[in-house]
Chain A
Amino acid sequence: MSPIDPSTFGTGEPRTFDGRTYPSHLRVYEAYDDVLLPVVADRQPATFDQLSIAIPDARMRASLPRWLASAEWRGLVKRLDSSMDAPRTYGLGPQADDHLPHAA
């Protein structure tokens, strides 16, 4: 279960149930939402490697760990890990719909 308090999604100041706040150094990675969120949408559930292989731009690929962390804080992605013995797996989070370009 996510430790983020869902009532803080969309406020710009997400917070965990125990009061920890969104790290300010992750805000810069929000600029990659438009490119990286559709990559998660197209491949979910996807491991870090499946996502990184699908990102052609080296700068965005290098930032993927921090973008995933930023997106998880904001509810755009969530962890779907099926086991403690498997690599992390990501899927769309509860706030993803508001950020994805929708087909007409």
Chain B
Amino acid sequence: MPGGDDERYVDRVFLTRRGRAPRLVPCAVLFVDLLGVRAMNRGPQRAVRSNLIALERAVSGMYRDYLEPDSPWPGALFSDTLVLAAPVPDQDGGAEVALGGLVLQACWLQLNLIDQGFFMRGALALGDFYIRDGVIFGPALVDAAELEHDVAVHPRIILSREAEKSQRRALRDYADPQQAPQDGALTCDGDGWTFINYLSVLLDETDDPRAGLRMHRDRIVARLAETRARKRVWEKYRWAAEYHNEFVGRTFAAEVDLLVPIDAMTWEFTRFV
């Protein structure tokens, strides 16, 4: 029943009250490209099926179901692209709330996908958006997709400049900004872009974070070895190794066994003669 308690979340948010017409709504929008999925669709049928099972498990069978139809974070997956949205609530600091929530969702999504062998590259943007029953549309989607394609480069999720400003505004609510959730969940990269520090959620858990860090290290080392001869791809996983080692250095500095070994991430040179 339109407007009733049983009305779907996406209908309530993305349809007009009168006329039930689609409408654009201010949202935080996450757009990610899963790296290597095209290659995973080629090869023996058994391998392709195994990749499908891994993808399905990462997206809906680990932390949560990112494609749950009634979720307040509506999502869509097509081919190697995944989109998640957080409508901006009509309250003070609404954009900051939507972005902050989506950042945490992105952390778990990224960890789950890497656990199943899928690294990703993406962007988080703020703006008008529509998502309902498989249709996604809007300027925020275009902004996020362009940032993913043109700027992200490495297996990281970057924030648009507007999204970054919004998260910095949220820090003003804290007497000590280092106590704000944004401080741990976001990190600034050397090229000036802010990206989602997804390993940080391992520190929230009662489970020993070292298990998650070993998983992350092993996935990176495997990818570095697989792509050694394809330098453009190898460089992406080298960035992931740098990120991993920087995080371990800050959180478990004495535990060098958690690091990606230097020889796995070192560029190789050979003599001319």
Question: Which residues does A use to contact B, with CB under 8 Å?
Answer: 2-4, 16, 18, 20, 23-26, 28, 47-49, 52-53, 58-59, 61-63, 65-66, 69-70, 72-73, 85-88
Contact = CB atoms under 8 A, between A and B. Distances in A.
A104 to B, nearest CB: 28
Given A52-B71, A87-B65, A62 B98 contact: yes
Contacts of A4: 206
Contact of B104 (A3, A66, A73): A66
B63 A61 contact: no
Contact of B204 (A2, A26, A53): A26
Given A58-B89, A66-B204, A47 B64 contact: yes
A59 B234 CA distance: 40
Interface in B85-112: 86, 89, 91, 94, 97-98, 100-102, 104-105, 108
Contacts of A85: 57, 61
19 contacts: A3-B206, A16-B208, A18-B208, A25-B181, A25-B183, A25-B184, A48-B63, A49-B68, A49-B71, A53-B68, A58-B98, A59-B89, A62-B100, A62-B101, A63-B101, A65-B108, A66-B104, A69-B206, A70-B204
Interface in B58-91: 60-65, 68, 70-73, 86, 89, 91
Interface residues of B, number: 36
Report the 9 A-B pairs with minimum CB-CB distance, sorted nearest first: A62-B101, A58-B89, A69-B204, A48-B64, A49-B68, A65-B104, A59-B97, A87-B64, A62-B97
B266 interface: no
Contacts of B68: 49, 53
B198 to A, nearest CB: 12
Contacts of A20: 208
Nearest to A75: B206
A22 B64 CA distance: 23
Given A20-B208, A49-B71, 19 more contacts: A3-B208, A4-B206, A23-B203, A23-B204, A24-B179, A28-B181, A47-B64, A49-B68, A53-B70, A58-B91, A58-B98, A62-B97, A62-B98, A62-B100, A62-B102, A69-B206, A72-B206, A85-B57, A87-B65
B242 to A, nearest CB: 24
Contacts of B62: 87-88
B91 A2 contact: no
Contacts of B86: 62
Nearest to A2: B206
User: Could you say which of A2, A52, A58 has the most chain B C-beta atoms within 10 Å of its C-beta?
Assistant: A58
